[in-house]
Amino acid sequence: MHNEDSVFERRSTTDPLIGAGLYNLVIGLTLAWGFGVNYWMLTNIAPEAIAGVNPWIFFLGYFACCFLGIYLFRSSDKPAVSFLGYNLVVVPFGFIINLVVSRYDPALVVEAIRLTGLVTVGMLCLGSLFPAFFQKIVGALTIALLLVIVIEVVEIYVFKMHHDILDWIVVFIFCGYIGYDWGRANQIPKTLDNAVDSAAALYMDIINLFLRILRILGRK
């Protein structure tokens, strides 16, 4: 997804710049919007209704919606278009969250949210302090994530098993991505559109981190 037109490759812009405080506020509000949409979906859509959809239709729609959303927010320099792309990612993620969370005790979900929040804050601090470090390891993070995905697919569909250590590996990978994406967010021009784009990238990191933490806690 990294290309010359990607928002995260831009080092100059003709769009109006905003202050650092407003930039961070927009990132925070955009993240809050996404989490709020997911919460609304969780409380208003029955997981049985989602589970009743044909799996092929569900996953084709999920990936089509996510990839379209990622394309829009990464390639557009218009805040409204990027926000639309962000929501095209938030909604399908919400369906997955709904299905997963319904399997766990509410108290465990709250604990997973708390831990995810603490870890996220910690990684944001590290991303601010050591952006160059996270820039150096992002290639390794990407390779590791792809390998884990392949291994998990083979284990689940071929051997009908899952090694718990893989969840911990994914947690560390997305911790790295949070640090990387936050460091990257502060290196690109501070515009309204870039704030939305940065929030979208962080949203995906945080949700993936939350789902793995919840899975680890659920085993206890």
Output the six-digit token pair for 193. 């559109």
Res 153 pLDDT > 60: yes
Q: Is the pLDDT of residue 63 over 70?
A: yes
Write out the DSSP string of 107-129: HHHHHHHHHHHHHHHHHHHHHHH
Q: CA 138, CA 149: separation in Å to the nearest integer? A: 16
Report which of 123, 209, 199 is spatially closest to residue 170, judged by C-alpha positions: 209
Q: 16: which DSSP letter?
A: P
Confidence band (pLDDT; 50, 70, 90) for 1? very low
Look at residue 5 and tell me whether its pLDDT is greater than 80.
no
Contacts of 182 (CB under 8 A, 6+ apart): 123, 124, 127, 128, 198, 202
Tokens of 86: 């962000």
Q: What percentage of the chain has pLDDT greater than the value 90?
A: 83
Condensed to tens digits (0 to 9), the pLDDT of residues 93-124 reads 999 999 999 999 999 999 999 999 999 999 99
pTM beyond 0.85, yes or no: yes
CA dihedral 109, 149, 172, 215 (to 10 degrees): 20
Nearest-5° Cα angle at 106, 105 to 107: 90
pLDDT of residue 11: 66
115 within 8 A of 151, measured Cβ to Cβ: no
CA distance 108 to 48: 21
Domain boundaries, the chain: 7-218
**Tokens describing residue 96:** 């997955």
Alpha helices (H) in the chain, listed in sequence order: 20-44, 47-51, 55-75, 79-101, 106-129, 131-154, 165-185, 192-218
